[in-house]
Structure 1
Amino acid sequence: MVDKLHLSHPTRRSNSMVSRRSPQHALSYKRQRGAIGIMAALVMLMALAFLMLAIDSGRLYLEKRSVQRVADMAALEAVLRDGNCQASAGTTTAQTYAAENAQIRNGFTLDAQRTLVATCGNVDESGSRRSFTADTLGRAIQVDARREVPASLILGGIFGQQVTIVAQAVAAKREPLAALTLRTTLATVDSTQSPLLNALIGGLLGGSVNLSAVGWDGLAKSQISLLDYLDQLAINQGITAGDYQSLLEENLSLGTLLDVAATTLQQSGTSANLDAAIAGLTALSAVVPAASPLLQLGDLINVQSATQKAGLDTALNLLQLVQGTVELANSKSAAFASLPITVPGLSNVTLNIKVIEPPQLSAIGNPELAKADPYGPNQIAVRSAQIRTYLSIDLSGATDALDNLLQPAAGASLNSFLNSALNLNLVGAVGNLIGSLACGGLLPACNSMKVSAAQVLPDGRVDVMLDVAEAQARVTDYSCTSSTDKTLDVDVTTSALNLAVGKLGSDSADALDQIFNASSTPVAAPIALIKLGEQTLRPTSCLLGLCAGLQWAKAGGGWVSDPKLARFDVRSGLGLTLNSGVISSGVDVPLVYESTANQLPNVGEAPYEKSATANHNVVGNLRNTLAGIDLEPYASSSPRILDGLITSSVGLINSLLGSLEGIIKNVLSPLVDPLVNTLLDGLGIGLAEADVGANLTCGSRAELLL
């Protein structure tokens, strides 16, 4: 069986199969082999094209990097060498420095194919993206470098096409940042101070505030981040995040400012003080009157334009923020606070307070610009509020004491004084209580005659005004040898105090208007405590040369038996007036903060505080000023006005003047404590002193910003 098995040869079989193919199949096979060759050629051409593209792209990328490096290095050197774009500053400008760097140190020869332009300006980092704005006075430098190169190594040689490589770089030194803050004198609030704060803040708002001592104390002990506050305010107002300058210039209601502060504080965590502060802010916002004026936060916080975002990362005391915003609102409204105060010997004394100029709580900016012009638009300065207080005092309680002085001896001296000083010819009198007069000779009847008379406290009101001018602190110089060796010079002008006592208006309402709405400090006119003059008197009968049944002439004609209803012609008056500068002008106190003494932390850290105090005992000076009031005799041309000061014949009534002054001093001297305590405890304002906190962050070397 095996021998019969036939195995066909494979090659022979294959040949037989091929021989059996049709001519059409053979032709198709040859055509396929030709198509593959064409496709291979196309693939090779495409690969060559991509290779050329890759080479050109890589070449252009390297050219771009080369030009970008030239722009970067040129911008950095121009900034490092303090290049400028001001023609008046000389020939060594930013353009010169940038060109030198490009040509000498980077081989970028400037010609028709290579150009380089340097522009000065400012970099705005307030938004989500940095942007450059040209400004010849700017401290940043932008370099625009351009180079023309062939568009392609292969085709460029054929068609001669050129492409311009453009590179831009912006460099600047990180500017130094300085911050000043004015600290409130209220560090804590207890139950004895909270009623005063409620009355004072409520009055300045034009409403009613009833916040507990815990709420006020929580505000006094809590801080808020200015940066977080501004960011939350931007969300609340729908303003672009980071556009802080627009936020500071936005017109906002006081309620909005307080509500946003509470919202920001809620994101800071929880604690007893924070919870109390949030509750306090919410309660204060609820009582803000609907007609409250719109405010700009920039009036409280001074931030130089183009200040870096990091410079806003500072802390604000919440009680100070509340006081500042309320005082700002009060300065723009007609509202004033009226506080009843207790003064021994007086009743119904009301202290009226109004903010004339609002405070500026914080200032941030470049100390280099502030140093160049400490009072210019780039100043870094803070100030306290200018506060004016007014008291209308009823002296009717002193009437009896004054009446007792006008006894016969005093009346005789007054008569002599009037006759001598004013050349009058008055018959001797005993005050305005005349019992009898001698008739002339033995005539059966007495003629009418002019007699001296006095009126005690005809007006019955004395006006007292205390004007507390703003205290100021501003950066005047700085040095930054290194981050650990730096100084900041701050000039502090303590507040001036002006005191006026006398007549400041025709009545209390007019005095309020004159004091709170005057553009300048009002001047007090003398107010008559005792008016001296003459009355016409006649007796109705005479007996043995003595007159009795005295009558006084009335103003409209006729006679009355009560001298108080009779005509009284004022000739003089013992007037009280005081226009005194307790501290007539602010005292300059230079402060120097030094890092070597751990007195100058970076911006964003807790500030180091120093006190600037004038060399004055303010409370003592106020007491001495009020206790040093003098009564002077004045001439009068009308029943209501005291005119010129009388300087002659004063010695005739020196004893009387001394006694009167003693009575008035005892009335006015006790006013000092309630005046001072209200300002210190209620408004957190130091008299003739200022507590100033300072921070300084030194700038860095040049760096690329764009």
Structure 2
Amino acid sequence: MRSLRALFTCRSLRSLLAVLACLLWWQPAWSCTTGACVTVGPRLASVDIAKSALLNALYGNLLGGNLSLSVADWNALAQGDVGLLGFLNALQARTAVGTPDQALAANATLAQLAAALQASAQADANVALANAYASLASQLAFAGGTIRMADLLQLSVPAASLAGARLNALDLLAGQLQLFNHRNLLTTPAPVGVSASALGLGGVLNGIQLYSQVIEPPVMVCGPSGTQFHSAAIRIKLKLDLVALSPSTGLLTAIPGVLGASVRIANLDVYASVARAEGAIDGIDAIGRLVTVRATPGVADLYLGTFSDSVFFNRSRTLNAAIDLGYGNIGTVNINGAVVALEARSAVIGQAPLGGSASFTGPFPQSRTFGSSSAVLASALSSLVSNLDIRMTPSLGLLNAVVLPVLKTVVAGALSPVLSNVLSGVLDPVLKLLGIGIGEAVVTVNGIAQSCTVSGTVYNDANRNGRFDAGESGTRQALWAKLVAGNAVSAVVSVDPNTGAYSFPSVPMGSYSLLLDVASGAGTAPAGPPGWAGTEAPTLLRTVTISTADLGSQNFGLFGDNTEFTLVKTVDKTTAAPGEVLTYTLNFKNNGAAGVNNLKIEDSVPAYTAFLDAGCGAMPAGVSSCAVSARPDARQAGLVQWTINGMLGAGAGGTVILRVTVN
């Protein structure tokens, strides 16, 4: 008994159904793509109680709400990493889109993102990280705005190439919250209190109020040479309640006419505006596992005094210290019994730092530091003190001219150690927890993403020589090519029945089994059409290894004794709405010189439709009966089979019918 399967299967969209006919399938040109995944921002090896307090305060401030993760949760994030492809697949499910690329572009809440990251961590069996994300998801419900991951994570390589790419979990969270702040919190930020004792500054500060706003969100990349990336640009305000300072006033009382003097310094407002650090991928050697990157730290401007919040936190406003920076009240001065307010201001406008280039040789992730935060902070402290401008309000009249120069020396001497503690113990750690360094940039290459094309032809080997010869074409059978990694199918593509061409456009590096199958499901055993045998690759199985070049000519030769038959499938509508009925007609014909007894025709219910009924149409003389011998249950998908008994003569043909309902 000869068996013939339908030439085509129906891949229907809900609202668009193509008429299926013998059309030449256009095959695009594909090539290998290679990219590196790069982020910029300091990576924490571990989180202690002090850092945990800062992280909760800082990230809660970015959200405009409260955040309270444990030290263990923060450590799980700092030490964990996230598989990018697994995360995008989980996000795809939660945003109800069709592909990982569409998930990147979808609007998602922070709670949805945390849930997707939790699912990815669970799939990696990272229990601690999954628990941290679960806690985050429950706490982020109040954050009602959305972000698009595509605005944070910019990919210029196929999503399939990300199979081995991973990002640090805390870096990814920081980027998401910075993007959320920039997109959703457009007003002056509310302050958040930070414990001075938790930072080890209890002897210097009574309390800290922290304000932060993202002026520009970061960009993480997975891309080829030339791809650019950058950190966030941010503005920070620290309102400091000092443990009151009472510096020695011997220099003041030495001034003629000053009979008594005292100084009390109790308050200080410190501001930082840090531009983005930026860089670019200069070169990628996938074989040698070498990535070359150049980067430049961001410019950091530091201020002491007071800005109007409406100016300092205006993202579209460029700060001008000469115009915008006012004197801030830092304490009092008592001269000869007259108590006046002590006010001060200072500004350090950062100089463009020098950039550099570095090579990353793996294993990945691997980090390199460009610039020096400690050197820039030391220089900034010196400049803040030397640029200090003070005044007394109200004026002491004629005494001002002789008192102010000496008073500046007294105040500068008292403030210098305080500012040193504030810059190194508060401001620098805060910025580094946001992935920003003052005068330095820490760049991390997280991995190399590469994918290549695997392609070939499944041909009717008419002369049975095991070679794809000129004039040979497809088998006119419904076939699928599959790539199997381990024991699971990693990709499936349909084989064009007319030309025999197939192509996997984005295959990550690695070794695979490449096989031919008559079904598109998850089966990993090769199978050819009944009545057909393999010639080239006789077992219908190949072993392929993807390294740095496209892999073509992965051909399968088939020879069968039923090639004289044709089967053409058409549909009665080009478009259909859900609930409408589609009627498929399968026209078969024996083009051979001899008759054939007992024929079977098989087809599958197309995607996005459900089985309604099937039957036999016109039959030629010589056919004694036609019946539907296999069918799925009503409203289900599955195989449909027609059995045609009797003689199908040379040149004779007929039709069978399949009706389905659009889901």
Task: Give the TM bin, normalised by the shorter chain.
Answer: 0.5 to 0.7
Judge which range, 188-197 or 293-302, deviates more. Answer: 188-197
Please, what is the CA RMSD of the aligned residues?
4.4
Q: 1:198 aligns with which of 56, 67, 74?
A: 56
Residues 1:692 and 2:444 aligned together: yes
Alignment match of 1:340 (pick from 166, 173, 195): 195
Q: How many equivalent residue pairs? A: 426
Aligned partners of 1:231, 1:493: CA distance in 2, in Å?
A: 34
Cα separation, partners in 2 of 1:655 and 1:289, compared to 1, 3 Å? same
Is residue 2:458 matched to residue 1:611? no
Task: Tell me by how many angstroms 1:624 deviates.
Answer: 2.9
**In the alignment, structure 1 residue 620 sits paired with structure 2 residue 372:** no
Name the residue aligned to 2:121. 265
Cα pair distance change 1:235/1:249, threshold 3 Å? same
Q: Could you tell me how far 1:186 is from its partner in structure 2?
A: 0.7
What are the Cα deviations for residues 410-459 of structure 1, in whole angstroms up to 9, with x where unaligned?
Answer: 363xxxxxxxxxxxxxxxxx57x8xxxxxxxxxxxxxxxxxxxx9978x9
Q: Cα distance, 1:580 vs. partner?
A: 0.5
Letter paired with 1:248: L
Q: Tell me, what secondary structure is at the counterpart of 1:177? A: strand
1:284 is aligned to: 136
State which of 186, 189, 193 in structure 1 corresponds to 2:44.
Answer: 186
- Tell me how far 1:169 sits from its aligned partner: 4.1
What does 1:119-134 align with in structure 2 at a 5 Å threshold? none
Q: Write the mapping of 1:100-499 to structure 2, written as runs, cut at 5 A.
A: 168-182=26-40, 184-242=42-100, 244=101, 246-269=102-125, 274-304=126-156, 307=158, 309-311=160-162, 313-331=164-182, 332-333=184-185, 334=187, 335=189, 337-342=192-197, 343=201, 346-357=204-215, 359-360=217-218, 362-367=220-225, 370=226, 380-393=227-240, 397-398=244-245, 401=247, 407=253, 409-410=254-255, 412=257, 430=258, 461-475=267-281, 477-478=282-283, 483-484=286-287, 488-499=291-302
- Following superposition, the deviation at residue 231 of structure 1 comes to 1.2
Which residue of structure 2 aligns with residue 669 of structure 1? 420
- Name structure 1 gaps, 5 residues minimum: 1-127, 130-163, 371-379, 413-429, 434-453, 506-511, 536-561, 594-598
Q: After superposition, give the CA deviation of every residue in 1:175-222 in whole Å (9 maximum; x if it has no partner).
A: 333332335421222344323323332333333333222222222222
Partner Cα distance (1:276, 1:218) in 2: 6
Shift, 1:610, TM fit = 2.8
TM superposition shift of 1:347: 4.6
Cα 1:396/1:667, change in 2 over 3 Å: same
Number of the residue aligned with 1:26: none
Residue type of the alignment partner of 2:237? Y
Deviations 1:159-182 (A, max 9, x none): xxxxx9967443233233333233
What whole-Å deviation, never above 9, does each CA across 1:347-402 have from its counterpart, x for those lacking one?
543141414245536312233xx3xxxxxxxxx2332222322123457934x548
Deviations 1:129-175 (A, max 9, x none): 9xxxxxxxxxxxxxxxxxxxxxxxxxxxxxxxxxx996744323323
Instruction: Tell me how far apart the structure 2 counterparts of residues 658 and 182 of structure 1 sit (CA, whole Å).
Output: 40
Question: Matches of 1:641 and 1:522 in 2, distance apart?
Answer: 26
CA distance in 1, matches of 2:77, 2:298: 26
User: For 1:216 and 1:533, how far apart are their aligned partners in 2?
Assistant: 48
Look up the SS of the partner of 2:295 in the other structure. strand
Aligned-pair CA distance for 1:682: 3.7
Q: 1:406 offset after TM fit, Å?
A: 5.2
SS at match of 2:301: strand
SS in structure 1 of the partner of residue 53 of structure 2: helix
> Aligned letter for 2:348?
S
Amino acid at match of 2:121: L
Checking the alignment, whether the CA contact within 8 Å between 1:532 and 1:574 is kept in structure 2 is yes
Deviation, 1:694, is 5.7
Deviation at 1:226, TM superposition (A): 0.9
Counterparts of 1:291 and 1:221, CA distance in 2:
25
Quick one: distance in 2 between partners of 1:187 and 1:641?
52
Structure 2 CA distance for partners of 1:700 and 1:286, relative to 1, 3 Å: same
Q: Is the 8 A contact 1:205 1:289 kept in 2?
A: no
Match 1:514 to one of 294, 307, 311: 311
CA distance in structure 2 between the partners assigned to 1:217 and 1:526 by the alignment:
41
How far the C-alpha of 1:464 sits from its partner, in A, is 1.2
Identity across aligned pairs (percent)? 21
| Residues 1-39 of structure 1: CA deviation (Å, up to 9, x unaligned) | xxxxxxxxxxxxxxxxxxxxxxxxxxxxxxxxxxxxxxx
Q: 2:357 aligns with which of 577, 590, 594?
A: 590
- 1:226–1:388: structure 2 CA closer, same or farther, 3 Å change rule? same
Closer, same or farther in 2 for the Cα pair 1:534/1:655, shift >3 Å? closer
Query: Hey, what's the Cα distance between the residues in 2 that align with 1:254 and 1:217?
Result: 20
Q: Which runs of 5+ in 2 are unaligned?
A: 1-10, 13-21, 451-546, 556-663
Give the C-alpha shift of residue 693 in structure 1: 1.0
The answer on whether the counterparts of 1:179 and 1:365 sit within 8 Å (CA) in structure 2 is yes
Shift of 1:692: 2.3
Q: CA deviation at 1:289?
A: 4.8
Between structure 1 and structure 2, the one with the greater Rg is 1
Aligned counterparts of 1:664 and 1:168: Cα–Cα separation in 2: 73
Per-residue CA shift, 1:250-287, capped at 9, x if unaligned? 11111110011112222223xxxx22211211111212
User: What TM-score do the two structures reach when normalised by structure 1?
Assistant: 0.52
Q: State the alpha-carbon separation in 2 of the partners of residues 165 and 204 from structure 1.
A: 56
2:114 partner letter: L
Judged with a 3 Å threshold, the aligned counterparts in structure 2 of structure 1 residues 609 and 182 are, in CA distance, closer, same or farther, namely same
The alpha carbon displacement at 1:479 in A equals 6.3
Specify which of 408, 422, 434 is matched with residue 683 of structure 1.
434
User: How far apart are the structure 2 equivalents of 1:530 and 1:194?
Assistant: 32
Aligned-pair CA distance for 1:239:
0.6
- Note the C-alpha offset of 1:632: 5.7
